[in-house]
Structure 1
Amino acid sequence: MSSKSSFYVRKRPCIALIGMAGSGKSTLGKLLSQSLSWAHVDTDWLLEAWWGTNLQSIRDHLGLKGFLQAEEKVVLDLRLNRCVISTGGSVVYSAPAMDFLKSLGPIIYLHADLQTILKRVQNVSTRGLAMDKGQTLEDIYLQRKPLYEQYADFVVSTDQNSPQECVQLIEQWLKK
């Protein structure tokens, strides 16, 4: 084990990435975990694996409240060490899930402005987003942004920096 990895394990065992759909959580989770030589877990993928179908089907089957409860359960059941966790964008609606993630290590908010999110997320009706009927992507962006900021230990702009630059910024912050 390298001294870099040992340092992070002693300080805090995991890093959680939060942010809107399209902010880069899955992409940066993979890159950051590779750079740290850590594992990577995507809680959306865990939900899909547990239910055996895609997020939209889970969302349609459970309804919004049930979907949020399932997402919370997946997070609260995590038992991880030395892991980068890419979360579902709606995890911030669950204070118990966010408190649990905070107990595992730092929470990093991957921020992108609304226009960037609107460009990156084209498949709103099939992506499995946790939103009420009649809500728009802009509505949930405005609703969630203060929650992301509230829980964040560090914020990285994914529309102002390349994925590699984001990883470098996160690693620089972790070393402080």
Structure 2
Amino acid sequence: MKNNVILIGMPGAGKSTVGVVLAKLLNYKFVDSDIVIQQKMKKKLNELILEQGAEYFKKIENKINSGLNIKKCVVATGGSVVFGKDAMEHFKKIGTVVYLKASLDSLEKRLGDLDKRGVVHKPGETLLDIFNERSPLYEKYADIIIDENDSEISKIAMKIETAIF
């Protein structure tokens, strides 16, 4: 049975923040897959990316996410999770995938330094480049798209609940 809610979207879209509120609303557990990766690898995301490179990180992210064995959870994923085919197929089987769609303008205001934030990107790649590369993937995997339009966190969580149930 699909009883998990998987949040995907750009870094800074509010997946973790909305995820906590949504989990409370649904009486589900909350899982931040970036924290799971950090705990398993015993390193911060930005350290993993700087030391091992973006491709290595994406492999680790795919492996850990595709192995998540969860029930009645809201999962906030890392923004690069959509590059992991195994992880996304796993998430589609075990849950409803919700794309939190944020505008480029609001992401620019929230994000700051991409390297410090642990955002997977190629050298010289801008936020616009990342946005353009990932947006079609988010839309491809999403069961539901929630346009957040700088709405309040609680309103976004309620929109998701209404769309799912």
Query: Does the 8 Å CA contact 2:62/2:85 hold for their aligned counterparts?
Result: no
Q: Which amino acid aligns with 1:54?
A: K
Query: Does the 8 Å CA contact 2:38/2:45 hold for their aligned counterparts?
Result: yes
Q: 2:132 is matched with which residue: 114, 126, 142?
A: 142
Q: Does 2:17 correspond to 1:21?
A: no
Which residue number corresponds to residue 113 of structure 2?
A: 123
Separation in 2, partners of 1:160, 1:98: 26
Query: Does the 8 Å CA contact 1:24/1:158 hold for their aligned counterparts?
Result: no
Deviation of 1:24 after TM superposition, in Å, equals: 0.5
The normalised TM-score by structure 2 is 0.96
Residue identity (%): 34
CA deviations 1:115-161 (Å, max 9, x no partner) are 11111101212111111111111110110001101111111122342
Q: Does 2:156 correspond to 1:166?
A: yes
Separation in 2, partners of 1:51, 1:57: 10
Larger relative contact order, structure 1 or 2 (CA cutoff 8 Å, min sep 6): 2
Separation in 1, partners of 2:115, 2:38: 17
Number of residue pairs matched by the alignment: 165
Q: 1:80 is matched with which residue: 50, 70, 87?
A: 70
Separation in 2, partners of 1:138, 1:81: 35
Q: Which amino acid aligns with 2:82?
A: V
Separation in 2, partners of 1:44, 1:146: 22
Which residue number corresponds to residue 7 of structure 1?
A: none
The normalised TM-score by structure 1 is 0.90
Which residue number corresponds to residue 6 of structure 1?
A: none
Q: 1:42 is matched with which residue: 16, 32, 38?
A: 32
RMSD: 1.0
Separation in 2, partners of 1:159, 1:53: 33
Q: Secondary structure of the equivalent of 1:53?
A: coil
Where do 5+ consecutive residues of structure 1 fail to align?
1-10
Q: Which amino acid aligns with 1:151?
A: Y
Separation in 2, partners of 1:159, 1:122: 19
Q: Which amino acid aligns with 2:102?
A: A
Q: Which has the larger Rg?
A: 1
Query: Does the 8 Å CA contact 2:106/2:150 hold for their aligned counterparts?
Result: no
Which residue number corresponds to residue 45 of structure 2?
A: 55
